[in-house]
Amino acid sequence: MNARDAAQAFRALHEGPAPLVLPNAWDVGSALGFVVAGFPAVGTTSFGVAAIEGSPDGGRSTREATATLAARLLRLPVPVTADVEDGYSDDPDEVASYLADLGVAGINIEDSTDERLVEPGRHAAKVAAIKATSPDLFVNARVDTYWLGQSANLEETMIRAQAYVEAGADGIFVPGISQPDEIRTLTATLSVPVNVLPVPGMTVRELADLGVRRVSTGSLPYRAAIDAGVDAAIRLRDGDTPPKATPYPQAQGRLVDYRDGKLSATGE
């Protein structure tokens, strides 16, 4: 699948009868697991990518690691979207150049740097530069008001979201928003697909009823995987039976198929 076809396929996933549930991978192995489970697209998680490098999330620590992982995931038979923090630069043209070289179908780019919201015009300038350089790229502009607890109200969130849509954003991502009435207002007002993280106590179907078009897992799978790995070791240490897991030959077979370009998008 070439870059343009992947971008078009990824865009179409936001227009289906149900929201796109997007799993976020932190390495090739986790991405392969999502693909063989039948997910039609895979994203990356900056938290997971930073963690495997031994760095906290944010602070532009994942620039090189994200580029390396993106290049590896482009061999998957499904579209790939990358979490690129704030684009790793304050300069819109530098951000646009970096993203043009990634070759992915989509990106998330957040309107905060070092845990602080940036002026929305600055973020809008990045969005505009990205779209001017890579018009096919699905730009999911992230609004961090609720996530950071800064100006965490619908009015400020809407001002920022509208500015990014006007700059050319293809989608709006509002992590941390959770009130049904606010989500419904956001989706009814914006002209592009709205993306949220899982909301405690709400199913994907209920989020769909509120107009949500994409639900990203974020770092949840990475954190759950760490918990599962630690739990497996504890169970063995404490004399319990080992937990169920993908057999080694099957996991190895995925990697062989990936290496040889034989991985199927429809499962193993």
Q: What is the pLDDT of residue 2?
A: 83
CA separation for the pair 212, 186 (Å, rounded): 9
Q: What is the pLDDT of residue 75?
A: 95
Task: Quote the tokens at residue 9.
Answer: 């396929």
Task: Quote the tokens at residue 63.
Answer: 């620039």
CA separation for the pair 106, 139 (Å, rounded): 6
Q: What is the pLDDT of residue 264?
A: 82
Mean pLDDT for back-to-back runs of 10 residues, the chain (268 residues): 90 96 98 97 98 94 97 97 98 98 97 97 98 98 98 98 98 98 98 97 98 98 98 97 95 96 75
Q: What is the pLDDT of residue 268?
A: 54
Cβ proximity of 68 and 104 under 8 Å? no
Neighbour count for residue 59 (Cβ, 10 Å): 13
How many CA atoms within 13 Å lie on the side-chain side of 85? Answer: 27
Neighbour count for residue 48 (Cβ, 10 Å): 26
Neighbour count for residue 139 (Cβ, 10 Å): 25
Q: What is the pLDDT of residue 266?
A: 62
